[in-house]
Amino acid sequence: MSNSKTKPKSDDPELIRGWSLPVEATLGSAVRVKGILQEIRSRLSPAVRKSLDTQSGELVLVMPEASKTAFRATSSIISESLRCIADLPIIPREIEDILGLRASERKRWLEDGRLPSAGTRTVRLRGRARRITFHVFDPRVIEDLLDRGAVDEWREEDAAAKAENRRRAAYQAKLTRSLKKQEKSKQADPDTDDAVIGLNAWDEFGSTGLLR
């Protein structure tokens, strides 16, 4: 006989409602879906936040049947919040998932202007007093970058620039070695004409009688 214990299921009736999320809002990203969930939860009272979750890419609210008043009020808040959810700014971890970016690429393209910022957002880390500030992005701009495959173009541009930089660095290193080699050769075997000129000048200086 098994000693494992299973949590008994509640037979109490439940109130359930779901909301599908438009592609314009999620941009095909599971990370974005989670971000939307967290955003909507933040607008609900702490007592009912955990009643809202995701299931198959949809938001689902589940509450006991005895909580009809709270269920209706919560449903109303969620529905209202979702009206403009497609315009919710995209945060760094979401844009990395949507565009398939590495964190280093996001930072580099943000700095050189190819990835336009829609402003900054400051939040407090959970359980800490410290706040962090990060850039957010316009969903419609990111959607356009996604549709036209901008990331692939940027990677090709960066690869070409990197190759050109390596070529220039190799040429500069070769030129530096050549100049150093010429300098060492000159020091080891001074030019004969220079030596002759030096001696003639010395004789001319001596003929003036200044050394007598």
pLDDT, tens only, 124-164: 877 777 889 999 999 999 999 999 999 999 999 999 998 99
Helix (H, G, I), strand (E, B) or coil at 89: coil
Average pLDDT on 92-107 reads 96
CA–CA dist 101, 159 (Å, integer): 15
Report whether pLDDT(95) > 90: yes
Which pLDDT belongs to residue 7?
A: 43
Average pLDDT on 6-33 reads 84
Shortest CA distance to 120 belongs to which of 88, 159, 89, 79? 89
Residue 19: HSE in the Cβ half-sphere, 13 Å Cα cutoff: 24
Shortest CA distance to 38 belongs to which of 113, 123, 138? 123
Asked if 151 contacts 101 with a C-beta cutoff of 8 angstroms, the reply is: yes
Report whether pLDDT(207) > 60: no
Asked if 26 contacts 2 with a C-beta cutoff of 8 angstroms, the reply is: no
Shortest CA distance to 17 belongs to which of 83, 77, 71? 71
Least reliable range by pLDDT among 95-99, 157-161, 176-180: 176-180
Which pLDDT belongs to residue 10?
A: 55
pTM: 0.72
Report whether pLDDT(11) > 90: no
Return the exposure string of 130-166: e unless at least 16 CB atoms fall within 10 Å of the residue's CB, then b. Answer: eeeeebbbebeebbebbeeebbeebeeeeeeeeeeee
